A = this chain, B = another copy of it.
Amino acid sequence: MESLEKEALLAQDYLSRISEEAERKFDEYLPSPKDRPCRLHEAMRYSMFAGGKRLRPALVKASFDLFKGKGESVYLAMSALEMLHTFSLIHDDLPCVDNDDYRRGKLTSHKQFGEATAVMAGDALCVLAFELMGKTGNAKAIEVLAHLLGTFGMIGGEMTDIECEGKPVDLEIVDYIHYHKTAALIEAALKVGALLAGASDKEIEAIQNYGRAIGLAFQIVDDILDIVSTTEELGKDAGSDIEKGKATYPSILGLEKSRTRAMELYEESIKALDALEMDTGILRSIAAFIITRVK
């Protein structure tokens, strides 16, 4: 584990560098709070600038650069992916869904702006993401992204997650939920970066396999942290999964087996990268970061 933590340092540097770059772009692409409808624009910015690791933009960039992409379209896609992630968080936090008051240590959108504005802010971020994707000129990337975001991807996972709350579930369902609600958008970030760079089908398959593995690992680690961390460390309500009767890996397999499963997924992700025979240092480090992170 210690060598993995060392390996993760490169990813931490990369993430903080990309965060700065990405946030400058968010500011450029997000509508001004001086323009009508002002409060809605303010709400969109509030949630987009509420912090976070900016993992999805970093994955878009790392994949785009790996496949030698050229041009500015990558910044549009990086911003689009973070907007889509933020859209999903705002709607998930709503009283009728997860009913969360805090996210990343700040009031959630509906607590800060009211429910109607939160619904619309989520909608508006989703739509703006597709406007930015339209500007990339790559319709195929839009199709792939929307598919992984929709009912056979992220939204399908969220819906099933809600439906299964408090019900007995098996590993098949937990796998389905976790793959869809979390891994699908992580996979999408990598595929969009690869598509914009003009990667081959074989390359896209490899990056997809990597994405699925780290995506699932990411959610398992999230579930573990929800149990072993404090609310202060997480910046969101710790222990909330158990409280809500959420279907998680630790609730089915226990902590130790969940950790083992996360490590297996890490190994799978590295194997997927090996198939590429390229310098995949950044992506390797990101996998190590995901498996060793403490918040």
Contacts and interface: CB of A to CB of B under 8 A. Distances in A.
Given A127-B146, A130-B130, A150-B127, A40 B159 contact: yes
Size category of the binding interface on chain A: 35 or more
A136 B142 CA distance: 10
A138 interface: yes
Please report whether the interface of chain A is mostly helix, strand, loop or mixed according to DSSP. helix
A41 B156 CA distance: 9
A81 to B, nearest CB: 14
Interface stretch (A116-124, A260-268, A284-292): A116-124
A107 interface: no
A171 to B, nearest CB: 16
Given A115-B96, A131-B147, A123 B91 contact: yes
A50 interface: no
Among A94, A115, A126, residue most surrounded by chain B Cβ atoms (within 10 Å): A126
Contact of A155 (B120, B150, B176): B120
A134 B142 contact: yes
Contact of A127 (B39, B116, B135, B155): B155
A149 to B, nearest CB: 5
A124 B31 contact: no
A162 interface: yes
A155 B96 contact: no
B31 A152 contact: yes
Given A37-B156, A155-B123, A162-B116, A150 B131 contact: yes
Say how many copies of this protein the assembly contains. 2
B91 A119 contact: yes
Contact of A123 (B117, B126, B137, B145): B126
Given A119-B91, A136-B139, A151 B124 contact: yes
Given A39-B163, A94-B119, 20 more contacts: A31-B152, A37-B160, A37-B163, A39-B159, A44-B151, A87-B123, A91-B120, A97-B120, A117-B159, A120-B158, A120-B162, A122-B123, A123-B123, A123-B126, A128-B151, A131-B146, A134-B139, A134-B141, A134-B142, A135-B143
Interface of A: 31, 35-37, 39-41, 44, 87, 91, 94, 96-97, 114-117, 119-120, 122-124, 126-128, 130-131, 133-147, 149-152, 155-156, 158-160, 162-163, 176
Q: Which 5 A-B pairs rank lowest in CB-CB distance, beginning with the nearest?
A: A134-B143, A131-B146, A96-B115, A134-B142, A37-B159
24 contacts: A31-B152, A36-B156, A36-B176, A37-B159, A37-B160, A37-B163, A39-B159, A40-B156, A91-B119, A94-B119, A96-B114, A97-B120, A123-B126, A124-B150, A124-B155, A127-B149, A128-B151, A130-B130, A130-B146, A133-B139, A133-B142, A134-B141, A134-B143, A138-B139
